Amino acid sequence: MNIKLKLLKIITKILFLIIFFFITSLFFSGQKIIVVLILSLIFFAVKIGYQKIVIINLLIFIILLKISIYPFQNKIDSINPSKISIYEKHFLYGLRNVNFTIKSYNGDLSSLDKKFKIKYRKNSNPKKIKITSDELGFRNKIKPDEADYIFVGDSFLHLGNITQEKTLNYILNNKYNLKTYNAGLGATDISHYFETIKFFKDIKNFNNKKYVMFIFQGNDFLDYNVNIKNNYHKYIENSLLHSYYKIKVFFNFYHTIKLFTHSIKKNNDNFKKVFEYQVANQSVLFKFDYIYEKENEIKSLNKLFIKYKNYLPDIIVFIPTKYEVYCKFIKNNTCAKTKHFSLIHNNKNLNGVKIIDANFFFKEQANLTLQKSNDLLYEIDDTHLNEFGVNILSKIISQNLSN
């Protein structure tokens, strides 16, 4: 009898531990899961009677909290559970089979600074962006097995600032009759691009496809510590993980808390995240760490190219930053010579990979467009291309894919 009671007690404690872990994890990002584990281990050591009281109170708390913040979440697209396309920055899979429209009042740059958020806010005419995803969580109409080309990249390919029918893959498919599949996702890095190729080649057996990797001059050139145990590709279709994160998105406590804490923070004038410059007599925002004022040491991506030598893309498209394109148009500005493209173009491990430099085409088109209509290729208060810029990119891509 004592053995049965002890066994029942252990099973009950384990059940309480799982519930506690689950509820606590709703308030943390995937990156901070170690904190949840530590809290759970401490909880496990508590007497079962106290555990029961804690669990009951936690269940009541999250239900009441969800009810109280739901109207607030419903008013803001970035934390509205029904209008989220990526689970979270530290769990980089897209929500599957979503279909919604969001209103965009600010770009990603103006959102970083309170004074710019007010100045650039589109109060009367917000941008309407339709977001649709497929069964893998990517923004496509066609299925990957129907495509000839599979694109991998981050937000410059995912294009969360562009409505569905005007994204790069839709233009290439409809206007240029090229069968392309967009496997890009915001907030990812180059290791994720390679892991995505690995998913399509090893798990989906799409070895007859052409893979096109979009490398952004900005955040893609980071100091990567190559993780030999990266198994991202194995879990893209993992239904258990998707179910867990769908529940997490339903409550969306983490993003709501993050938004609230960010809104009450005071701007630190000693550290500017965004700079405002005049380009052809109009104010334009630029991200501070994409402004290259001198020849800084650029980190090589060579370790990644070596690690994923069996999963190299057929084509690499180099996408310049907004500052790189418009640097010479800024008054009294000195443009530093950058080495980002050369690190890819001159890399011996990429022999056989076609390298496309969009930098030259963008600078040429930027000059022509400013002279003709004073328009930009990038969003004024955002790091990403606008609709016109995406069309220019589609011309570049179509010419190279056709050849």
Q: Which of 133, 319, 291, 355 has its CA nearest to residue 215?
A: 319
Residues of the chain with pLDDT under 50: none
Please report, as a single letter, which amino acid is at residue 257. Answer: I
Return d(Cα 351, Cα 277) in angstroms, integer: 39
The residues facing 100 across adjacent strands are: 131
* The predicted structure's pLDDT at residue 77: 87
Return d(Cα 168, Cα 268) in angstroms, integer: 37
- List the domain boundaries for the chain: 2-75, 82-402
pLDDT tens sequence across 26-55: 999 888 889 999 999 999 999 999 999 999
* The predicted structure's pLDDT at residue 208: 95
The residues facing 128 across adjacent strands are: 103
pTM score of the predicted model: 0.92
pLDDT tens sequence across 131-174: 999 999 999 999 999 999 999 999 999 999 999 999 999 999 99
Residue 6: CB atoms within 10 Å: 10
Q: How many CA atoms are closer than 13 Å to the CA of 334, on its beta-carbon side?
A: 4
Please report, as a single letter, which amino acid is at residue 241. Answer: L
